[in-house]
Amino acid sequence: MKKMIQSVSLCLSMIAISNVALAQETVTNAWVRATVASQKATGMFATISTTHNVMRLVKVSSDIAAVTQIHEMTMSDGVMRMREMTDGVAFDKNSPLELKPGGYHVMLLDLKRTPIVGEVVTVIFSFESAAGQRSDLVVAAEVRPVSSKAMGHTKDHGMAGHGGMKHVEGMKHN
């Protein structure tokens, strides 16, 4: 299993390096919260930037979950409320979209397996420009511990197991 994950990561890195100049959206610090074996849902977090004046994150998918949804969590009168953003979330070149605990985030629901700390989960972000043009971005998101310390964690992905290639977190995929 570990060799398969390394192979997938290597392939994604090779494709990403060859296509990095095409990307107009950039995803950084992408991570998925680890779960316990019986848990069927988790969150995915990242920062998304664009070179467009207006862009919308309209869909997210992952092979680890049967259902993925873009959500917003808010507090109102001391009550936490979470709702699906069925029309997506708009952002622009001056205001990156922060997917973080306690705000906008991606819910990975009906998990097909337990995400394990340290593994890399593939997530595909789908964007739509103001002109209606759609594009996808394949992202490698590291699974991090459940603890709150993971929220601010940034890891140097290093070169070990990547054949000396630089790890690229997001790539254009049309």
In which band, very low, low, confident or very high, does the pLDDT at 2 lie, cut at 50, 70 and 90?
low
- 67 vs 56: CA distance, rounded Å: 20
139: its two tokens: 């992202």
Torsion of the alpha carbons at 99, 106, 134 and 51, rounded to the nearest 10 = 10
**Does the pLDDT at position 120 exceed 60?**
yes
**What percent of the chain lies above the pLDDT cut of 90?**
66
> Which pLDDT belongs to residue 19?
37
Average pLDDT over residues 110-130: 95
In which band, very low, low, confident or very high, does the pLDDT at 124 lie, cut at 50, 70 and 90?
very high
Mapped onto helix, strand or coil, the DSSP state of residue 85 is: coil
> Which pLDDT belongs to residue 107?
97
Tens of pLDDT, residues 35-84: 988 899 999 999 999 999 999 999 999 999 999 999 999 998 999 999 99
Say which CATH architecture domain 2-173 belongs to.
Answer: Sandwich (2.60)
- The residues facing 106 across adjacent strands are 44, 70
- Contacts of residue 126, defined as CB under 8 A and 6 or more positions apart, other chains included, come to 57, 58, 59, 60, 61, 134, 135, 136
Tens of pLDDT, residues 129-149: 999 999 999 999 999 998 744
What are the residue ranges spanned by the domains of the chain? 2-173
- The closest alpha carbon to 91, from 153, 46, 124, belongs to 46
> Which pLDDT belongs to residue 117?
96
CB-CB contact of 165 with 12 (8 Å):
no
In which band, very low, low, confident or very high, does the pLDDT at 172 lie, cut at 50, 70 and 90?
very low
Q: Amino acid identity of 99?
A: L
**Does the pLDDT at position 116 exceed 60?**
yes
